Chains A and B, each alone.
Chain A
């Protein structure tokens, strides 16, 4: 059997395909079919010839095998320094082999590549900072994921995820109507407590176009309400687009570059349609990475910039606190020791380390850095899609140990984590290791300590 009915080289472009995949619980049949999925070696060789150029070639061939990348990898550390977890080994024994054999690899080897690409690397890009040549194995694993995806060797959840983006332009099955309803519902829910609160939809020429992670409307609509409350408090002229509101990209985790492009173009179209001055992305790391850092390239924008300037939520928040748009009640600042989880995607890979510290300086009295921190921080343990892959759950749980120990060493019981993936990983590490910590996004914390001007308070009855 060259191709399975579920596990194949086809993109998921229809609702029917999507439902069939979803009906296959935990991907049992999908992974069974994968064992006999043929490798299209000619296509693989052609893809290599077209896309494997001097940067990647040089990285693979110049590696001095010095091993300096070993200690940089949290998965190497979490797995008792297993030499098979050395980043250089991981990439040389997978992508390196595919290149060496010019694509003449078989099915078991591709399954091995898939397992390494999604369970032994979160594409956190930390190893690239420790290599004297700047060999960024996270980038190479991203490339390998693309090769695996194009051959149909992709974890079940991500085949579904990239299909969701293709069909709904969101990582979950949320229609435009669902989204608009959720916005209206959240505005209504909160307007009594916050008179005048609204979630303006499709308002043209606003100062801010706000975009989110699909999990928010689907599972945590209160996050959307909190965003609205803070924009309201800050007196912002803002809007959300009815279409093009989703920032995340499971397609990026999957290596489905075409779906990546389709997804970010939906957001860029909203920018062009509504003409906001700026875009603000919710508290999510990979969403920002996908739409603001990588997205312009997928969409073929030569200057590498989004059509309007784009901010991560922490940039907007730091600005609002700095300029006094939102004022913090000093008595309500966080008194207990508190630490901050630096998300790889917007700290190491987008330069926002100082912004995060600025916010902490306004809201916390006893802020404690993890060690190492900022650009050198370790991945939460769940990045790059790792959190959501059932096949690799045990490996993910082992990987959480490094973050657990980093948090424990700070002595803080509260972790601020303005990134959905990190937030999930930290929640899960508490569930697995029970170290007695709490974790939070910034929005609820800021609402709890912001000074609300009298005219914004509900009228006394």
Chain B
């Protein structure tokens, strides 16, 4: 089972991941229309690139925008959640051992304590996001079952990985469940709302170009995000 999951299934998983994201990228960019969107995307590359980079850059910085600043606690949790989600799987020792075994190379790895901390951080932050969805009326009215599903998909590999790594319960069982949830996690990125893994950069670039080219970018220092 383990060999099968980390062999052919994993190959298929990565194929879906990369092809799916590439398709999303092409579909999005090709669907941009200067006349319908009313943005002269191609005419002003300098203003467009500056606007796009500003729009992405400020939002990648914790408290880099006014929106982040006015919600400091949410911002802290939000960044903790996303950093944990992205950094932990890539730099986890266990994953890199597998990588080394299969492909003969490995990335630098996180000390076990840090990885463990990040994993717990993701779970706690995920719980916070669930509570926030229930507790705040302005978030509750927007929330659908799909939002919970996406959260479960995102956090599941961390919960199962934590159980397996700490040998809580049956190691072999949790390891396989961890791999399955991990595969779902990777496949869900291009196929669900988790596509914001890529689409964040594209939508931010688009609105940045909109402001950079059309809505004031030529007459100001750039949008004050």
A352 B207 Cβ-Cβ under 8 A: no
Interface positions, chain B 134-165, Cβ under 8 Å from A, are 136-144, 147
- Whole-angstrom distance from the CB of A146 to the nearest CB of chain B? 11
C-alpha gap A71/B71 in the complex (Å): 10
- Whole-angstrom distance from the CB of B212 to the nearest CB of chain A? 10
Highest count of chain A CB atoms <10 Å: which of B31, B67, B142, B218: B142
C-alpha gap A130/B66 in the complex (Å): 7
C-alpha gap A393/B216 in the complex (Å): 31
A55 B32 Cβ-Cβ under 8 A: yes
B200 A132 Cβ-Cβ under 8 A: yes
Residues of B within 8 A of A132 (CB): 59, 67, 200
Contact with A375, one of B27, B55, B223 (Cβ below 8 angstroms): B223
Residues of A within 8 A of B38 (CB): 294, 297-298, 304
B66 A376 Cβ-Cβ under 8 A: yes
CB-CB nearest in chain A for B215: A349
- Whole-angstrom distance from the CB of A455 to the nearest CB of chain B? 35
**Can you list, as one digit per residue, whether each of B201-217 has a CB less than 8 Å from chain A (1) or not (0)?**
01110111010011111
Q: Decide yes or no whether A66 CB sits under 8 A from chain B.
A: yes
B206 A55 Cβ-Cβ under 8 A: yes
**Can you list, as one digit per residue, whether each of A348-374 has a CB less than 8 Å from chain B (1) or not (0)?**
111111110000000000000000101
B43 A304 Cβ-Cβ under 8 A: yes
C-alpha gap A133/B204 in the complex (Å): 6
Binding stretch for chain A, among B85-93, B112-120, B191-199: B191-199
- Whole-angstrom distance from the CB of B76 to the nearest CB of chain A? 14
C-alpha gap A132/B225 in the complex (Å): 10
Interface positions, chain B 17-74, Cβ under 8 Å from A, are 27-40, 43-44, 55, 59, 65-67, 70-71, 74
Knowing A64-B147, A134-B208, A349-B216 are in contact, say whether A57-B71 is a contact too (CB < 8 A).
no
Residues of B within 8 A of A199 (CB): none
B67 A53 Cβ-Cβ under 8 A: no
Interface residues on chain A, size class:
35 or more
C-alpha gap A76/B136 in the complex (Å): 14
**Can you list, as one digit per residue, whether each of A69-84 has a CB less than 8 Å from chain B (1) or not (0)?**
0111000100001011
B67 A68 Cβ-Cβ under 8 A: yes
Interface positions, chain A 106-159, Cβ under 8 Å from B, are 128-136
C-alpha gap A59/B35 in the complex (Å): 18
Q: Decide yes or no whether B224 CB sits under 8 A from chain A.
A: yes
- Whole-angstrom distance from the CB of A62 to the nearest CB of chain B? 5
Contact with B136, one of A67, A302, A351 (Cβ below 8 angstroms): A67
Q: Decide yes or no whether B220 CB sits under 8 A from chain A.
A: yes
A300 B224 Cβ-Cβ under 8 A: no
B203 A134 Cβ-Cβ under 8 A: yes
Residues of B within 8 A of A92 (CB): 142
Q: Decide yes or no whether A88 CB sits under 8 A from chain B.
A: yes
Number of A-B residue pairs having CB atoms within 8 Å of each other in the complex: 151
- Whole-angstrom distance from the CB of B213 to the nearest CB of chain A? 7
Knowing A62-B203, A133-B199 are in contact, say whether A304-B214 is a contact too (CB < 8 A).
yes
CB-CB nearest in chain A for B216: A351
C-alpha gap A349/B214 in the complex (Å): 8
CB-CB nearest in chain B for A92: B142
CB-CB nearest in chain B for A312: B219
B67 A297 Cβ-Cβ under 8 A: no
Knowing A88-B142, A129-B67 are in contact, say whether A351-B32 is a contact too (CB < 8 A).
no
C-alpha gap A315/B219 in the complex (Å): 10
Q: Decide yes or no whether A61 CB sits under 8 A from chain B.
A: yes
A374 B216 Cβ-Cβ under 8 A: no
C-alpha gap A51/B36 in the complex (Å): 7
Residues of A within 8 A of B36 (CB): 51, 53, 55
Residues of A within 8 A of B66 (CB): 129-130, 372, 376
Chain A contact residues, majority secondary structure:
helix
A351 B141 Cβ-Cβ under 8 A: no
Knowing A67-B142, A304-B39, A351-B215 are in contact, say whether A62-B196 is a contact too (CB < 8 A).
yes
Knowing A58-B28, A133-B199, A351-B219 are in contact, say whether A65-B147 is a contact too (CB < 8 A).
yes
CB-CB nearest in chain B for A130: B67
C-alpha gap A133/B33 in the complex (Å): 19
Residues of B within 8 A of A57 (CB): 31
B203 A133 Cβ-Cβ under 8 A: yes
Q: Decide yes or no whether A19 CB sits under 8 A from chain B.
A: no
CB-CB nearest in chain A for B28: A54
Residues of B within 8 A of A63 (CB): 142
- Whole-angstrom distance from the CB of A364 to the nearest CB of chain B? 21
Highest count of chain A CB atoms <10 Å: which of B139, B204, B208, B217: B139
Interface positions, chain B 86-108, Cβ under 8 Å from A, are none
B27 A54 Cβ-Cβ under 8 A: yes
Knowing A59-B203, A351-B216 are in contact, say whether A83-B140 is a contact too (CB < 8 A).
yes
CB-CB nearest in chain B for A374: B224
C-alpha gap A88/B144 in the complex (Å): 13
- Whole-angstrom distance from the CB of B112 to the nearest CB of chain A? 32
Knowing A303-B40, A303-B43 are in contact, say whether A83-B141 is a contact too (CB < 8 A).
yes
C-alpha gap A129/B33 in the complex (Å): 22
A133 B200 Cβ-Cβ under 8 A: yes
A64 B196 Cβ-Cβ under 8 A: yes
Q: Decide yes or no whether A86 CB sits under 8 A from chain B.
A: yes
- Whole-angstrom distance from the CB of A136 to the nearest CB of chain B? 6
CB-CB nearest in chain A for B66: A376
Knowing A65-B142, A128-B207, A134-B55 are in contact, say whether A352-B33 is a contact too (CB < 8 A).
no
Task: Sample 11 A-B pairs with CB under 8 A, ordered by A number.
Answer: A58-B203, A62-B203, A67-B138, A72-B67, A129-B223, A130-B66, A131-B67, A134-B204, A293-B215, A302-B40, A349-B215
- For the complex of A and B, the 7 pairs showing the least CB-CB separation, nearest first, are A351-B216, A54-B31, A134-B207, A351-B220, A304-B40, A65-B142, A67-B139
A residues contacting B by CB (< 8 A) are 51, 53-55, 57-59, 61-68, 70-72, 76, 81, 83-84, 86, 88-89, 92, 128-136, 293-294, 297-298, 300, 302-305, 315, 348-355, 372, 374-376
In the complex, besides A65-B133, A86-B142, A130-B67, 12 extra interface pairs with C-beta distance below 8 angstroms are A53-B31, A53-B33, A58-B202, A63-B142, A67-B139, A89-B142, A130-B66, A133-B196, A133-B203, A134-B206, A136-B207, A294-B38
